[in-house]
Amino acid sequence: MTRSPRRALAALCAATALALTAPLAATTPAAAATATASTHYSGTLADGATWIADKPARWNGVLLLFSHGFGALTAANAPSDAVKDRLLAEGYALAGSSYDPNGSAWALRSAERDQFATVTAFGDTAGRPAHVVSVGLSMGGLVNAQIARDGAGRIDGALNLCGLVAGGVDLEDYQLDAEYALAWFFDRADLPNLVDLSDPDAASALANRLSTAVDAAQRTPAGRARISLAAAYLNQSAWAPGQTPPAPTDYADQEYQQYQWLQQGLLYFIVPGRYAVEQSAGGNPSSTKGVDYTALLDKSWHADEVRALYAAAGLDPKADTAALTAHADITGSAAARANLTASSTVTSLDVPMLSLHTTSDQLVPVEQENAYAARIRAAGDNSLLRQAFVARQGHCNFTTAEIVAGLHALEQRLVTGSWSNAATPESLQERATALHLDGAAFVDWKPSRLSGVR
């Protein structure tokens, strides 16, 4: 039986503790031992994006097209050096682009185009691949979802890692809900400054003021209750680094661990990230006006935590959520929202995809997988999608074994035409363990509804 997040919290510690199906082009141990010798390639695309690739001496004919995450617009072709070394040793070629370096760091307007151009450049320079599998990380997971939507005939399948698959519109909406709540309770002078950010420095200064206000609020029961409300709107996970998973009804510990994420600089990432998204969309795409913040809390799986902490503080959560609703007056640009919807929302799938996510992801909440799966079902493409979950804290915090096992499971689907049991947590755990690398913690998990979906 699939466990809900609330029921599964107590079992996560234990979770942290099939023979491999041949990939599209099988690699023998002897070949793997000699495949680490590789040739590096690089070049520049028409829009100024750069691309890089590495092809092992014993190439198996498969090209892994890697889409990197949000941040520097620098070409990358693997999630980590350790993953890169292992995949080259297994005979895969690796390629990826920077995306257009002249645009916003939210590069959804150029990334898919540049990734497909990278496949062409690789074929012209290093040799035409027999198969192409796309791999995406974080924001690159949204790029990868675009590629998987449009890639029939150009790619065979897609592996997603902590993908921002709910898209840019949902991201901006739920993050604004949380930032609005934090500002309303703890930093009202900044209510006019939450959107239409003028530059990265203004965004960083806002993040600093909000973070300072949260630190002060954490010292009182009322402050902790209101932090938990904002965290619910943010879809903020309640299992922080260095901590054990809080008990399902230990609401104080759940809030403390949510605060730990905030204390470790979460707002310093998401607030400047808003500037980049607004830059790409041509303005602020999100509104608070018209949002029912009481209903929003009711639909959150953190609602019990919020209500318990409000009771402990002697406060009425409905009074606070009603005040948020009554005073919500931020109105976004319809044109910016339309632009972001067009560039950064994916609702269908054309090739098989396996999507991996950690259960406690502070930047791309695992609940994004729920929203994405619902859209893929609505499109009638659910037979192409499988999702698997790793019991661990942190954004994109996968082991090499988990990533390689996910790739091999996807390849079983591509070879046989059927998922069968390839993507079950038991099968993935067995595959990863058999690699004798750095461990794995696949777990039976069902993400809750993503808060903030309009």
- Model confidence over 336-389: pLDDT tens digits? 999 999 999 999 999 999 999 999 999 999 999 999 999 999 999 999 999 999
> Would you mind telling me the total number of residues written for the chain in this entry?
454
pLDDT at 277: 98
The rounded percent of the chain whose pLDDT value lies above 90 is: 92
Residue 139 in contact with residue 70, Cβ under 8 Å?
Answer: yes
- Model confidence over 1-34: pLDDT tens digits? 344 555 444 444 333 332 223 334 333 333 343 3
Q: Judge residue 201's burial from the number of C-beta atoms within 10 Å of its C-beta, 0-12 exposed, 13-18 middle, 19 or more buried.
A: exposed
Mean confidence (pLDDT) of the chain: 93
| C-alpha span between 436 and 424 (Å, rounded) | 19
Distances (CA, A) of 325 to 296, 352, 447: 10, 41, 27
| C-alpha span between 452 and 440 (Å, rounded) | 32
Reference 294, options 354, 237, 232, 342; nearest CA is 232
- Per DSSP, what are the bridge partners of residue 44? 50
The residue among 308 and 17 whose pLDDT is bigger is 308
- Per DSSP, what are the bridge partners of residue 155? 152
Q: Report the pLDDT averaged over residues 31-53.
A: 83
- Per DSSP, what are the bridge partners of residue 53? 41, 95
- Model confidence over 72-99: pLDDT tens digits? 999 999 999 999 999 999 999 999 999 9
| C-alpha span between 397 and 270 (Å, rounded) | 18
Longest dimension (CA), the chain: 68
Residue 47 in contact with residue 283, Cβ under 8 Å?
Answer: no
| 353-360 and 385-393 strand pairing | parallel
Q: Is this prediction's pTM over 0.85?
A: yes
pLDDT at 430: 98
| C-alpha span between 179 and 186 (Å, rounded) | 10
Per the structure block, which two tokens stand in for 449?
């509804």
Per the structure block, which two tokens stand in for 404?
């390689």
pLDDT at 5: 52
| C-alpha span between 52 and 76 (Å, rounded) | 7
Q: Give yes or no for residue 441 having a pLDDT over 80.
A: yes
| C-alpha span between 84 and 256 (Å, rounded) | 36
Distances (CA, A) of 33 to 349, 380, 405, 410: 36, 43, 19, 23
Secondary structure string (H, E, C) spanning 105-143: CCCCCCHHHHHHHHHHHHHHHHCCCCEEEEEEECHHHHH
Residue 346 in contact with residue 379, Cβ under 8 Å?
Answer: no
- Model confidence over 150-204: pLDDT tens digits? 999 999 999 999 999 999 999 999 999 999 999 999 999 999 999 999 999 999 9
